[in-house]
Structure 1
Amino acid sequence: MKKLSNKVTRTTFCALCAVAVLVVSGGTALAASTYPDRPITIVVGYPAGGSVDLNGRIVAESLAKKIGANVVVENLGGAGGTIGAQKVIRARPDGYTLLVGSLNEVVIASLVNPAVKYNGITDLQAIGLIGDQPLVLAASKAGNIKNTDDLVKVATSGKSDSYSYGSSGVGTSLHMAGEMVNAETGARFLHVPYRGVAPLVTDLTSGRLPLGVFALSSALPQIQSGQITAIGVTSAKRSSFAADIPALAENPALKAMDISVWFGLFGPKGMPEDVTKKLQAGLQQVLADPEFQAQYQKTGSNIMRTQPDLAAFFQAEHNKFKKLAETAHIATERP
Structure 2
Amino acid sequence: MRFFPVRFSSLLSLALAAGLVPLAHGQADTYPDRPITVVVAYPPGGSTDLTGRAVADQLSKKLGVPVVVENVGGAGGAIGAHKVSRAAPDGYTLLLGANNEIAINRLISPSVKYSYKDFTPIGLVASQPMVLVASTQSGIKTTDQFIKTVKSRPGKYIYGSSGVGTALHLSAEMAKQQAGLFMSHIPYRGVGPLTTDLYAGTVDFGVYVLSSGLPHIRGGKVVALGITEKKRSAVAPEIAPLADHPSLSQMDISVWFALMAPPQLPEAIAARLRKALAESLQTPEFRKKLEDSGSTVAPLNVEMNGFLAEESAKYQKIVNFANIKE
Fold-level match, TM-score > 0.5? yes
Question: Is the 2:162–2:189 Cα contact (8 Å) retained in structure 1?
Answer: yes
Question: Is the 1:144–1:150 Cα contact (8 Å) retained in structure 2?
Answer: no
Where do residues 96-245 of structure 1 align in structure 2 (5 Å cutoff)?
Answer: 96-119=92-115, 121-157=116-152, 159-245=153-239
Deviation at 1:152, TM superposition (A): 1.2
Distance (Å, rounded) in 1 between the aligned partners of 2:140 and 2:251 = 18
Question: Is the 1:39–1:71 Cα contact (8 Å) retained in structure 2?
Answer: yes
Seen in structure 2, the aligned counterparts of structure 1 residues 199 and 280 have a Cα distance that, compared at 3 Å, is same
Q: Among 57, 64, 80, which residue is 1:61 paired with?
A: 57
Deviation at 1:297, TM superposition (A): 1.3
Distance (Å, rounded) in 2 between the aligned partners of 1:255 and 1:100 = 31
Gaps of 5+ in 1: 1-24
Distance (Å, rounded) in 2 between the aligned partners of 1:246 and 1:132 = 17
Superposition RMSD on alpha carbons, in Å? 1.2
Distance (Å, rounded) in 1 between the aligned partners of 2:75 and 2:299 = 30
- 1:46 has 2:42 as partner: yes
Question: Is the 1:46–1:52 Cα contact (8 Å) retained in structure 2?
Answer: yes
Seen in structure 2, the aligned counterparts of structure 1 residues 323 and 26 have a Cα distance that, compared at 3 Å, is closer
Question: Is the 2:23–2:266 Cα contact (8 Å) retained in structure 1?
Answer: no
Deviation at 1:294, TM superposition (A): 1.5
Gaps of 5+ in 2: 1-20
Q: Secondary structure at the match of 1:135?
A: strand
1:281-306 CA-partner distances (Å, limit 9, x unpaired):
00000001111111111211000133
Distance (Å, rounded) in 1 between the aligned partners of 2:307 and 2:51 = 20
Aligned length in residues: 306
1:59-90 CA-partner distances (Å, limit 9, x unpaired):
00111001111000000111111100000011
| Alignment match, 1:9 | none
Distance (Å, rounded) in 2 between the aligned partners of 1:247 and 1:305 = 20
1:91-139 CA-partner distances (Å, limit 9, x unpaired):
10100000000110111100011211111x2101100000000000001
Q: Secondary structure at the match of 1:156?
A: helix
Query: Which has the higher mean CA deviation after the structures are superposed, 301-310 or 129-138?
Result: 301-310
Q: Secondary structure at the match of 1:241?
A: coil
| Alignment match, 1:294 | 288
Q: Among 75, 91, 110, which residue is 1:95 paired with?
A: 91
Greater per-residue helix proportion: 1
Seen in structure 2, the aligned counterparts of structure 1 residues 206 and 27 have a Cα distance that, compared at 3 Å, is closer
Q: Among 71, 74, 79, which residue is 1:75 paired with?
A: 71
1:166-225 CA-partner distances (Å, limit 9, x unpaired):
000000000001101110111111110000110001110111110000100000001011
Identity of aligned residues (%): 48
Q: Secondary structure at the match of 1:130?
A: strand
Distance (Å, rounded) in 1 between the aligned partners of 2:220 and 2:246 = 27
1:129-164 CA-partner distances (Å, limit 9, x unpaired):
00000000001000032110111102322x131101
- 1:36 has 2:41 as partner: no
Question: Is the 1:284–1:305 Cα contact (8 Å) retained in structure 2?
Answer: no
| Alignment match, 1:283 | 277
Code of the aligned partner of 2:137? A
Q: Among 277, 300, 303, which residue is 1:309 paired with?
A: 303
Seen in structure 2, the aligned counterparts of structure 1 residues 27 and 140 have a Cα distance that, compared at 3 Å, is closer
- 1:248 has 2:268 as partner: no
Distance (Å, rounded) in 2 between the aligned partners of 1:295 and 1:315 = 29
Question: Is the 2:151–2:182 Cα contact (8 Å) retained in structure 1?
Answer: no
Distance (Å, rounded) in 2 between the aligned partners of 1:184 and 1:254 = 6
Q: Secondary structure at the match of 1:151?
A: helix
Where do residues 6-21 of structure 1 align in structure 2 (5 Å cutoff)?
Answer: none
Larger radius of gyration: 1
Distance (Å, rounded) in 2 between the aligned partners of 1:273 and 1:306 = 18
Q: Secondary structure at the match of 1:162?
A: coil
Q: Secondary structure at the match of 1:169?
A: coil
In the superposition, the TM-score normalised over structure 1's length comes to 0.89
Code of the aligned partner of 1:315? A
1:218-270 CA-partner distances (Å, limit 9, x unpaired):
00001011111000000111111100001000000111111111100000001
Question: Is the 2:129–2:227 Cα contact (8 Å) retained in structure 1?
Answer: yes
Deviation at 1:26, TM superposition (A): 11
Code of the aligned partner of 1:190? S
Distance (Å, rounded) in 1 between the aligned partners of 2:128 and 2:141 = 23
Distance (Å, rounded) in 1 between the aligned partners of 2:65 and 2:299 = 23
Q: Secondary structure at the match of 1:242?
A: coil
